[in-house]
Amino acid sequence: MTDTKSPEELAPGLDTMGGWRRSHLCGELRAGDAGKEAVLMGWVQRTRDHGGVVFIDLRDHSGITQIVFHPAQLSATALAKARAARSEFVLAVRGPVVARPADMVNRDLATGEVEVDATDVRLLNVSRTPPFPIEDDADVSEDLRLRYRYLDLRRFSLQESLRLRAHVALEVRSHMTGQGFVEIETPMMVRPTPEGARDYIVPSRLHPGKFYALPQSPQLYKQILMVSGMNKYFQLARCLRDEDLRADRQPEHTQIDIEMAFVTEDEVFAVIEGLFSHVFRTCLGVELPLPFLRLSYREAMDRFGTDKPDLRFDLELVDVSAAAGRTEFGVFKNALAHGGAVKAIRVPDGATKSRKEIDDLEAAARTYGAKGLAWTKIAAAGPEGGIAKFVGSEIPEVLGAERGDLLVFVADAWPIACKALGSVRNVLGQPLIEGKSREFRFLWVREFPLFEFNPDRGRWEAAHHIFSMPMEEHLQYLETDPGKVHAHLYDLVANGIELASGSIRIHRRDIQERVMQVLGITREDADRRFGFLLEAFQYGAPPHGGIAPGLDRLIMLMSGRTSLRDVIAFPKTARATSLMDQAPAEVDPDDLEALHIRIVE
């Protein structure tokens, strides 16, 4: 029968700490501590009553120690408290540390060679039955975890993530300061200047009808700091963007924001490589090979079908357009006739894949606009199945195909062929990266296009942001052919995750205005939205550049996690809500009136 009494009613009475002080954390005791008197405080992980002797696993952030309560050495009151303890009750325990018999050692616990024989116990607080076990391997829905985040955060794995985050932040500050960078805080309430995502806006009580914005990034302010002569700036900046969420995106995030005067791309790369090398060495004991690989955007797309490739596995894309053009396969010929490309991947030992598995690969290709996925398998006598009769011998030779391989093809416009086959590559690569979460493969992707054409809006838009300096040889195309313009834009990528974006900035007003005009921003609109920056450019703005690695994504990578919500103390859901404190919430009507705001149904 379920006990309907509250935890308080079941407990024999709550205590205070009464002058007790912890002597050790629950995860600290070892065989060398046997014979010492210990005072431990923590939460009850589990209890076991073995015919009068009570065993309690006591847990805090550092680990677990087994406590033994012998009736013969405890008062009746203390024994009653031990027997009343349930999961997540808060206890303080005093007693000698005792070595366990050899056949009773728990090899799964760091403290498993010892236990504490309790001589006294204090019941500091009680707990309702938790809605889920406080265990790392508990199968619990994410919504329930976020609703009871304060319980979820008691799990060792999440505590480790947050402690790693704190360690990384400390090492970032230490390293950057040692390199001559100055940590400067920029405003949290700024002028609304859209940078691609929607702003979170803040009404001004003192200026009715006017609003601040929460910063999407410190971009404009760090550029102003370069104009001011600060030379080297950094901060761990809080940034907020009102955009749709996913596993690697939150409405608020932290970035390691960096800007430098009189620098080239390679100098920015060297600073970040030094920073990451230091952080991985001090926080994980991992030595990163330097320098990181450098690829142009075009090369990354050609070889991997994405601008954020995972280099922990091979499976590179190969352009077989020349050989494909000599076949009689209509799909290949049609794509090439319209200026497209034929891209292929050789999958070693892939001939064992079933038709359903190949259909799944085709579905991945279609998500990026491909009309289909052509394929064939290499048997002893040559190509077999799929488009075997069209392949001939030249394409397998170009791909270096061997018996037992699977060959897959996408024929389409170059961007679609690359992205679609890149998606297929990612699917094929998932089994190849299992067990490689501690393998870190970094690269720089550079020379991105500055603009991309939006056919729905019929206009050019910034591919990254509008403050990036065009390549000098491409300035001539700004007005005549914006699609040819590439910029000093670069991303830092690791294991398929984009960790940072940056650029060498525009520091001249005339070039900044030309870029804005390509995007349809008139001179008047530019002055209204970015006037203070454009004005500053007229007072000797130096060439400058920077980058902003995402701290949340970095910790996700370093801790082997797959969701940002596991490395942020109080994250939001995919709908940007906080289930624990029910934010966002309504505002008192009097507060709205003071802000001159009326809610329209």
Distance CA 342, CA 319 (A): 6
Q: Which tokens sit at 377? A: 């398998």
Residue 33 placed within a domain: yes
- CATH number of the domain residue 78 falls in: 2.40.50.140
Distance CA 222, CA 431 (A): 42
- CATH number of the domain residue 422 falls in: 3.30.1360.30
pLDDT band for 10, please (50, 70, 90 cuts): low
- Give the model's pLDDT for residue 1: 40
Residue 67 placed within a domain: yes
- Give the model's pLDDT for residue 65: 98
Calculate what percentage of the chain has a pLDDT beyond 90. Answer: 91
Residues 485-502 have a mean pLDDT of 97
Residues 460 and 376 in one domain: no
Residues 421 and 453 in one domain: no
Element (H, E) at 523: helix 523-536
Residues 465-479 have a mean pLDDT of 95
Least confident range of 51-60, 237-246, 423-432, 500-509: 237-246
Residues 298-316 have a mean pLDDT of 97
Residues 42-61 have a mean pLDDT of 94
Residues 477 and 429 in one domain: no
Boundary (domain end) residue, out of 125, 147, 163:
125
Distance CA 251, CA 257 (A): 17
Least confident range of 240-249, 335-344, 367-376: 240-249
Residue 296 pairs with which residues in a beta bridge? 446
Distance CA 492, CA 309 (A): 11
Residues 427 and 385 in one domain: yes
Are the CB atoms for 287 and 280 separated by under 8 Å?
A: yes
Q: Which tokens sit at 429? A: 């690569």
Number of folded domains in the chain? 3
Q: Which tokens sit at 466? A: 């509008």
Residues 343-357 have a mean pLDDT of 96
DSSP state of 506: P
Residues 455 and 426 in one domain: no
Residue 565 placed within a domain: no
Q: Is 79 helix (H, G, I), strand (E, B) or coil?
A: helix
- What's the whole-model pTM score? 0.93
Are the CB atoms for 294 and 443 separated by under 8 Å?
A: yes
Q: What is the 3-state secondary structure (H, E, C) of 157-208?
A: HHHHHHHHHHHHHHHHHHHHHHCCCEECCCCCCECCCCCCCECCEEECCCCC
DSSP state of 431: G
Computed over every residue of the chain, the mean pLDDT equals: 94
Q: Which tokens sit at 30? A: 């070892």
Residue 493 placed within a domain: no
Alpha-carbon dihedral 354, 360, 364, 369, rounded to 10 degrees: 100
Residue 16 placed within a domain: yes
What contacts 567, CB < 8 A, 6 or more positions away?
161, 162, 164, 165, 552, 555, 556, 559, 561
Residues 296-323 have a mean pLDDT of 97
Instruction: State yes or no: pLDDT of 248 exceeds 80.
Output: no
Distance CA 15, CA 559 (A): 39
Instruction: State yes or no: pLDDT of 4 exceeds 90.
Output: no
Residues 176-225: tens digit of each pLDDT: 999 999 999 999 999 987 556 789 999 999 999 999 999 999 999 999 99
- Distances in Å between the Cα of 553 and the Cα atoms of 345, 370, 495 are 30, 30, 11
- Give the model's pLDDT for residue 540: 97
Residues 101-127: tens digit of each pLDDT: 999 999 999 999 999 999 999 999 999
Q: Which tokens sit at 419? A: 């992205």
Tell me the Cα Rg of the chain: 30
- Give the model's pLDDT for residue 2: 47
Distance CA 146, CA 578 (A): 7
Please give the single-letter amino acid code of residue 71: P
Instruction: State yes or no: pLDDT of 487 exceeds 90.
Output: yes
Residues 120-147 have a mean pLDDT of 95
Residues 29-55 have a mean pLDDT of 95
Instruction: State yes or no: pLDDT of 486 exceeds 90.
Output: yes
Residue 517 placed within a domain: yes
Residues 112 and 66 in one domain: yes
Residues 408 and 339 in one domain: yes
> What is the distance, to the nearest Å, from the Cα of residue 132 to the centroid of all Cα atoms in its chain?
26
Residues 426 and 512 in one domain: no
- Give the model's pLDDT for residue 11: 74
584 preceded by a cis bond (ω within 30 of 0): yes
Residues 34-51 have a mean pLDDT of 95
Residues 17 and 105 in one domain: yes
Residue 577 placed within a domain: no
pLDDT band for 17, please (50, 70, 90 cuts): very high
Residue 281 placed within a domain: no
Residues 23 and 90 in one domain: yes
Boundary (domain end) residue, out of 435, 457, 477:
435
Residues 83 and 18 in one domain: yes
Q: Whole domain around residue 322: which residue ranges?
A: 313-435
Residues 261-278 have a mean pLDDT of 98
- Give the model's pLDDT for residue 601: 81
Distance CA 64, CA 297 (A): 50
Residues 384 and 328 in one domain: yes
Element (H, E) at 412: strand 406-412
